[in-house]
Amino acid sequence: MSEPVNFSLLTTLKVGGAPARLVEPADEAGLIDATREAWASDEPWMLLGGGSNTVAADDGFDGTVILVRTRGVQVLPAPTEPETDGPNGQSVRIRVQAGEPWDELVALTVANGWAGIEALSGIPGTSGAAPVQNIGAYGQELAQSLSAIDFLDYETGEVEHLSAADLGLGYRTSVLKQGRRGLVLAIELELRDMSAQAAVLGSAQSLPVNYPQLAQALGVQLGDRVPLTELRASVLGLRAGKGMVLDASDPDTFSAGSFFTNPIVTESFARTLPAEAPRWKQADVELPDRVIPLDEYAGVGPVPGAEVLRTVKLSAAWLIENSGIRRGFRLPGSNAAISSKHTLAITNRGGATADEIGQLARFVQQRVQADFGVILQPEPVFVGFSLL
């Protein structure tokens, strides 16, 4: 009988006990069968990709864990009438199996001269997990390139083809994170084929750079384009500097990535914070001053009598640092610590327990709430415990 495999060996944070049962299907058909079988039983179940966004309890999981390891990238047929090749190239559509490692996918697209996800380089995890929280970094989000997913629905047990519009994609969220249960089998991306530019410019160009820190690192202006390979290398360098690229020799990378999301608050609340607190304007939200029947104004446009709610996004890292929690901070006797490179990551310095991770996360929440009145929301998925 084989030894149980702990979550500490299956997740990038390297904490957690063993699941009662671990299944690793070889292909998509096997993955569907294993998932339906788990759903039909009375046992708890969960799906696990790269484990880069998971914090599991020390006593493990009393149920079935299905490892999503299916691989493959398929170029889909081109549209009947291809778009005219312009500065953004022609469209190229690909279908990616859920278990395909995300960064390997990005590397493949860059090597082929396909633009659209190059700024998402270095993000750990699998492709099937990417739409769950609409991954994003350095001015790009998956939502900008995702066209559809193939989804095994928990309620019906059937495979459905869902468009990106069906997924309610928002800042680090989707309907898949908000309660719609099931399994992402594959994702479809619509990228821009810039390979034809290589003959003229010497390299396939990225989409316009629209993130200030990235533009500064590249030495270009916002809106400029650079070679895809150059942009990918710059993003990997920026992420490595924050301990956000997996490295077996660097404990700062033994984390779940950014542990807290950047809070989105009202503009009026943001004015109560120190003037130097970073903030980024978000899209205005209309709040009706009365209940509106859904069929009365659906698709008509602005709602009469609506109040405009202006919101801004804050920097969780700034809030943490300015609440007195510095890089490398740890509670006495704990093996969990804030990254020495970036205050937004909680790391395992060696032998940390899930309880220690939770204690530090709660401490961070309490300090930020006490100083700024903001309750930071965790980004990882918790298995077997919570921060409440």
Residues identified as active-site: 172, 258, 379
In whole angstroms, how far apart are CA 124 and each of 72, 84, 103, 104, 136? 17, 35, 6, 10, 12
Q: Which residues contact 291 (CB under 8 A, 6 or more apart)?
A: none
What beta strand segments (E) does 12-154 contain? 19-23, 45-48, 54-56, 61-67, 73-75, 90-97, 114-115, 136-137, 140-141, 146-153
Residue 110: both structure tokens together: 């860059």
Q: Residues 349, 255: contact at Cβ < 8 Å?
A: no
Q: Which residues contact 7 (CB under 8 A, 6 or more apart)?
A: 15, 16, 17, 18, 19, 51, 54, 56, 60, 61, 383
Q: Which residues contact 102 (CB under 8 A, 6 or more apart)?
A: 50, 120, 123, 124, 125, 126, 127, 129, 130, 135
* Cα gap 126→71, rounded to integer Å: 10
